[in-house]
């Protein structure tokens, strides 16, 4: 169960009205009509980030190239050179061949690649056919270890059998060939550098140590392997290989070789464009003193020729004949500047439908749209706590605004900056920095707030959420999007759970309950509302009986509102349409049952991007975008029921009237309202009429006492909430606006609260001055509210919730 939000009293010496109101805000379960904030709202519970694309968006889009290659309705596929011209053309850039005059771009005629997994480690090379040599010194062997002992000094060990050895001492089965020798140490096999080598047994293998993700393994490379120390004294392992052989390890890692089989073979033009982009990019690189490029996504992904797990005879071939063909078809071609230099042809997985600009023109990319990649659109959700932890200097999070390049596309284009406002100040991050801070897929995105609870809405009763692995997967997003507004939730979700009969598939920890859905209901405290997100693990043929068991269990518990979330029918091996029909019939036959139609919400063609078909199962489980969208969907659906007054409530909430209680010498517009109402309610005229001057003096106090006696209230002469309501002003919280000239205890509370939030010494005089109005404007701007310097219910509520959060930090 997700921990319930608990009450925390304010340890502040505020006046009573402030304390009572702030406590109400902290302890009530409240909502707004939508997760999207208006201009004047409470401090948000978090943010939703929606974006397009994967990668940096510059240059060629790999999915875009594929879309251009195969074409779309009204647009036939285009050639690989046309694809390259679309992404890289202009400003004199052209396609040309690599010539002998370009030798300066590739010293020694070899592509040199830093193998980053070996950084700081010894280099261990093996040969399946025992033809491994320490070039110029010793061989053949089956394995050689070059172990660094100091800057550019190595001990060399060799073995007659294939082994990865150990990292200390003389490895078992190895013999010390030489000690304290100068690097670099070059290792090669008899035929490994030949482009005609056909089998991994001819290539040099490099042992990769085990990680948390995989067991120790051997990766096989064309060319030679070099153990070297860079200019900073760091130990590196480098692969030296002919450029075209190097590309055989890049192209199938960057673009799927299967594209060559699509659209009657037209898809190979995407691979050809990829080959030229990869060739140009590599040749334009000059990253390190010991290598031109690296093998990771920081450069371009290079996997070598083959891979084998240590102890297994199964070899995974990483090259592909289709990619090889694309490389051969474009052999020697590069993109060149007008000056003759080779273009650094950056490329990205998907640009989402528009290139980012920069070195190459920003333009709409219909090819990327046509390719319909999973990364074309994505969604993420982050809580206020996530933001505050990332930027602790802001204090309590108030708002975030994304700014864009104005070059076209959704939200005005790629994100140039994000401004994050808080009670203690603001932080501005570039679009790229914010993307990195939160591991976003691409720098084209828009930030919008997730609205927190609405203090003017009635608190909703407790909720029991019963779910399966789909529900379990959204626990983080649910906490941000839903529990910020509906905090009293018993969240019970586990993989494998069914409506009746199927309990949790894997061990779970308390307070989760390892039992089926009906069992969860029977063993949990009675909620006001139950949300049942089950059905995927139930047989559709028997689902009606199981669903009726759930209805019976919930009815026996006297649950007031039952909500079923139906299932996606994208997985067709089970008749989930029948499952959804059962749920629909339960809604039709039970007045206290509602349906959240997740299936309809996700039925649009582009919503396939929310589902994960690569892990456990079959268009049921959700990827990160789907998890965010599912949580937001649940929030929107709950808000809709609340707006229809369908959700049971625990108590009525009263609106807050600023300026109460009114005492002698208080001043302001609210006092004029009271004076007018006294005259009308008591029918005062002439000499008995209360002057409507906005000052609460003797005449007004005398009239209030008389009114209080007439309605059975204690004649205190103080306008408290009971007196206000008795005057017929119960629904007129709008009259309580603090502004310049107001004098009241509420202003003291305001001054104390602003002082805490703005970290400023503001004396609690109770007088609303021009200086105080400027402080109010500062807060309103940070909270993205209308900066008018007046404090009405919205500004007051926002400020008090912010103070509450400060007290909880």
In 3D space, the residue among 289, 156, 176 whose CA is nearest the CA of residue 229 turns out to be: 289
Per-residue pLDDT band for 701 (boundaries 50, 70, 90) equals very high
pLDDT at position 413 is: 97
In this structure, are residues 477 and 631 in contact, taking their beta carbons and an 8 Å threshold? Answer: yes
Is 345's pLDDT higher than 50?
A: yes
Lowest mean pLDDT among 71-80, 372-381, 385-394, 445-454: 445-454
Tell me which of 728 and 653 has the higher pLDDT: 728
Per-residue pLDDT band for 34 (boundaries 50, 70, 90) equals very low
Is 697's pLDDT higher than 60?
A: yes
Per-residue pLDDT band for 176 (boundaries 50, 70, 90) equals very high
Separation CA 221–CA 250 (nearest Å): 12
Separation CA 530–CA 489 (nearest Å): 10
pLDDT at position 6 is: 34
Lowest mean pLDDT among 271-280, 382-391, 658-667: 658-667
Separation CA 357–CA 364 (nearest Å): 10
Is 591's pLDDT higher than 80?
A: yes
CB atoms within 10 A of CB 226: 24
pLDDT at position 258 is: 97
Is 53's pLDDT higher than 90?
A: yes
Going 489 to 495 to 497 to 502, the CA torsion angle's sign is negative
- Give exposure, 425-456, as e/b (b: 16+ Cβ within 10 Å): ebbebebbebbebbebbbbbbbbbbbbbbbbe
In 3D space, the residue among 225, 233, 226 whose CA is nearest the CA of residue 203 turns out to be: 225
**Residue 728 DSSP code:** I
Separation CA 321–CA 540 (nearest Å): 45
Q: To 10 degrees, the CA torsion angle through 515, 521, 527, 533?
A: 70
Separation CA 375–CA 313 (nearest Å): 36
DSSP string, 235-274: EEEEEEE-HHHHHHTTHHHHS-GGGGGSGGGTTHHHHHHH
Q: Which fold has domain 463-643?
A: Rossmann fold (3.40.50)
Q: What is the pLDDT of residues 276-333, one digit of tens each?
A: 999 999 999 999 999 999 999 999 999 999 999 999 999 999 999 999 999 999 999 9
Separation CA 542–CA 532 (nearest Å): 17
How far from 307 is each of 192, 218, 410, 775, CA to CA, in Å? 15, 6, 42, 64
Is 616's pLDDT higher than 60?
A: no
- Domain 669-735: which CATH number of 3.40.50, 1.10.287, 1.10.101, 1.10.10: 1.10.101
Is 489's pLDDT higher than 50?
A: yes
Strand order in the sheet with 397-404: 397-404, 415-422, 425-430
Percent of residues, the chain, with pLDDT higher than 90: 70
Task: Write out the E strands in 118-242.
Answer: 123-126, 132-134, 138-141, 143-150, 153-159, 175-182, 185-188, 204-208, 217-221, 224-229, 235-241
Per-residue pLDDT band for 455 (boundaries 50, 70, 90) equals low
Angle at 49 between CA 43 and CA 54, to 5 degrees: 160
The domain segmentation of the chain, as residue ranges, is 43-53+377-450, 100-336, 463-643, 669-735
pLDDT at position 29 is: 30
Per-residue pLDDT band for 9 (boundaries 50, 70, 90) equals very low
pLDDT at position 146 is: 97
pLDDT at position 27 is: 32
In 3D space, the residue among 224, 249, 347 whose CA is nearest the CA of residue 301 turns out to be: 249
Angle at 806 between CA 668 and CA 483, to 5 degrees: 105
Per-residue pLDDT band for 355 (boundaries 50, 70, 90) equals very high
- What integer is the mean pLDDT of 677-704? 92
pLDDT at position 752 is: 83
Helix (H, G, I), strand (E, B) or coil at 402: strand
Q: Report H helices in 644-744.
A: 669-681, 698-710, 721-724
Q: Is the fold of 463-643 the same as that of 669-735?
A: no
Going 126 to 131 to 133 to 139, the CA torsion angle's sign is positive
Percent of residues, the chain, with pLDDT higher than 70: 93
pLDDT at position 786 is: 92
pLDDT at position 602 is: 95
Distance, C-alpha 699 to centroid of its chain: 61
Q: Which residues pair with 652 in a beta bridge?
A: none
Q: Which residues pair with 593 in a beta bridge?
A: 562
**Residue 233 DSSP code:** S
Is 16's pLDDT higher than 70?
A: no
pLDDT at position 807 is: 58
Separation CA 633–CA 637 (nearest Å): 6
Helix (H, G, I), strand (E, B) or coil at 531: strand
pLDDT at position 2 is: 37
Is 13's pLDDT higher than 50?
A: no
pLDDT at position 615 is: 52
Q: To 10 degrees, the CA torsion angle through 742, 761, 807, 429?
A: 100
In this structure, are residues 151 and 144 in contact, taking their beta carbons and an 8 Å threshold? Answer: no
In this structure, are residues 449 and 41 in contact, taking their beta carbons and an 8 Å threshold? Answer: yes
Is 17's pLDDT higher than 50?
A: no
Per-residue pLDDT band for 808 (boundaries 50, 70, 90) equals low
Separation CA 525–CA 730 (nearest Å): 36
Is 775's pLDDT higher than 80?
A: yes
Per-residue pLDDT band for 356 (boundaries 50, 70, 90) equals very high
Lowest mean pLDDT among 222-226, 457-461, 465-469: 457-461
In this structure, are residues 71 and 279 in contact, taking their beta carbons and an 8 Å threshold? Answer: no
pLDDT at position 613 is: 74
In this structure, are residues 170 and 157 in contact, taking their beta carbons and an 8 Å threshold? Answer: yes
Separation CA 128–CA 130 (nearest Å): 6
pLDDT at position 522 is: 87
- What integer is the mean pLDDT of 446-457? 83
Is 567's pLDDT higher than 90?
A: yes
Is 48's pLDDT higher than 80?
A: yes
- What integer is the mean pLDDT of 341-358? 96
In this structure, are residues 435 and 445 in contact, taking their beta carbons and an 8 Å threshold? Answer: yes
- What integer is the mean pLDDT of 125-139? 93
In 3D space, the residue among 715, 711, 709, 701 whose CA is nearest the CA of residue 663 turns out to be: 701
pLDDT at position 459 is: 82
pLDDT at position 84 is: 97
How far from 160 is each of 125, 174, 185, 267, 290, CA to CA, in Å? 12, 8, 19, 46, 30
In 3D space, the residue among 553, 564, 533, 555 whose CA is nearest the CA of residue 641 turns out to be: 564
pLDDT at position 40 is: 44
309: enclosing H helix or E strand: strand 306-309
Q: What is the pLDDT of residues 215-260, one digit of tens each?
A: 999 999 999 999 999 999 999 999 999 999 999 999 999 999 999 9
In this structure, are residues 299 and 350 in contact, taking their beta carbons and an 8 Å threshold? Answer: no
Structure tokens at 126: 């093996």
Mean pLDDT score of the chain, rounded to an integer?
A: 89
């Amino acid at each position: 169960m997700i921990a319930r939000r608990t009450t925390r009293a304010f340890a502040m010496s505020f006046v009573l009205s402030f304390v009572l109101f702030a406590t109400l805000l902290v302890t009530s379960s409240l909502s707004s009509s939508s997760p999207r904030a208006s201009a004047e709202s409470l401090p948000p519970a978090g943010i939703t980030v929606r974006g397009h694309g994967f990668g940096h968006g510059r240059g060629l889009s790999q999915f875009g190239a594929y879309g251009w290659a195969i074409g779309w309705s009204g647009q036939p596929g285009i050639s690989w050179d046309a694809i390259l011209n679309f992404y890289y053309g202009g400003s004199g850039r052209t396609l040309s061949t690599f010539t002998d005059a370009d030798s300066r771009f590739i010293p020694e005629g070899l592509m040199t690649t830093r193998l980053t997994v070996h950084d700081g480690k010894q280099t261990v090379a093996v040969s399946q056919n025992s033809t491994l040599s320490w070039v110029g010194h010793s061989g053949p062997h089956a394995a050689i270890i070059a172990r660094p002992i100091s800057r550019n000094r190595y001990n060399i060990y060799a073995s007659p059998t294939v082994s990865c050895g150990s990292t200390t001492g003389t490895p078992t089965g190895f013999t010390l060939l030489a000690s304290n020798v100068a690097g670099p140490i070059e290792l090669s096999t008899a035929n490994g550098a030949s482009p005609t080598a056909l089998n991994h047994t001819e290539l040099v293998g490099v042992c990769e140590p085990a990680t948390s993700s995989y067991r120790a393994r051997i990766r096989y490379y064309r060319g030679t392997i070099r153990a070297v120390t860079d200019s900073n004294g760091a130990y590196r392992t480098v692969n030296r290989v002919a450029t075209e052989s190097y590309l055989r390890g890049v192209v199938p890692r960057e673009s799927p070789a299967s594209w060559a089989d699509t659209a009657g073979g037209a898809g190979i033009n995407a691979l050809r464009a990829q080959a030229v982009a990869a060739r140009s990019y590599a040749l334009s690189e000059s990253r390190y003193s010991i290598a031109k490029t690296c093998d990771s996504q920081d450069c371009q992904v290079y996997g070598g020729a083959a891979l084998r797990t240590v102890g297994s005879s199964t070899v995974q071939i990483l090259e592909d004949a289709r990619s090889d063909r694309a490389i051969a078809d474009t052999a020697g071609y590069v993109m060149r500047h007008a000056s003759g230099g080779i273009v650094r042809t950056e490329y990205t997985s998907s640009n989402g439908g528009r290139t980012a600009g920069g070195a190459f023109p920003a333009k709409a990319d219909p090819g990327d749209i046509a390719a319909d990649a999973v990364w074309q659109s994505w969604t993420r959700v982050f809580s206020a706590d996530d933001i505050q932890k990332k930027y602790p200097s802001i204090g309590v999070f108030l708002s975030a605004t994304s700014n864009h390049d104005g070059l076209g596309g959704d939200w005005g284009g790629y994100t140039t900056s994000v401004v994050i406002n808080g009670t203690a100040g603001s932080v501005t991050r570039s679009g790229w920095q914010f993307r990195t801070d939160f591991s976003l897929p691409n720098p084209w995105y828009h930030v919008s707030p997730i609205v927190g609870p609405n203090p003017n809405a009635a608190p909703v009763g407790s909720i029991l959420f019963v779910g399966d692995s789909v529900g379990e997967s959204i626990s983080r997003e649910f906490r941000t999007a839903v529990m910020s507004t509906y905090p009293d939730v018993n969240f019970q979700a586990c993989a494998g759970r069914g409506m009746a009969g199927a309990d949790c598939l894997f061990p779970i920890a308390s307070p989760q309950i390892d039992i089926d859905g009906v069992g969860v209901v029977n063993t949990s405290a009675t909620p006001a509302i139950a949300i049942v997100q089950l059905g995927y693990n139930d047989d559709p043929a028997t689902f009606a009986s199981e669903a009726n068991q759930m209805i019976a269990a919930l009815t026996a518990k006297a649950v007031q509102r039952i909500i079923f979330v139906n299932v996606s029918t994208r997985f067709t091996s089970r008749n989930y349409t029948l499952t959804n029909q059962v749920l629909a019939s339960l809604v039709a036959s039970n007045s206290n049952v509602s349906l959240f139609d997740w299936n309809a919400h996700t039925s649009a063609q582009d919503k396939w991007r929310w589902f994960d078909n690569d892990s456990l199962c079959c268009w049921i489980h959700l990827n990160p975008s789907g998890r965010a969208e599912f949580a937001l969907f649940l929030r929107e659906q709950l808000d809709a029921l609340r707006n229809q007054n369908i959700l049971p409530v625990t108590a009525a909430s009263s609106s807050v009237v600023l300026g109460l209680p009114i005492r002698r010498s208080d001043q302001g517009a609210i006092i004029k309202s009271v004076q007018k109402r006294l005259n009308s309610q008591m029918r005062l005229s002439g000499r008995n009429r209360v002057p409507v001057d906005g000052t609460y003096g003797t005449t007004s106090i005398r009239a209030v006492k008389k009114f209080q006696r007439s309605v059975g209230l204690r004649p205190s002469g103080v306008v408290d909430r009971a007196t206000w309501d008795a005057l017929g002003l119960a629904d007129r919280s709008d009259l309580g606006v603090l502004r310049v000239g107001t004098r009241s205890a509420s202003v003291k509370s305001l001054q104390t609260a602003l002082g805490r939030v703005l970290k400023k010494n503001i004396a609690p005089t109770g007088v609303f001055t021009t200086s105080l109005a400027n402080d109010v404007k500062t807060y309103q701007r940070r909270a993205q509210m209308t900066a008018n310097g007046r404090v009405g219910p919205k500004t007051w509520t926002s400020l008090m919730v912010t103070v509450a959060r400060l007290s909880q930090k």
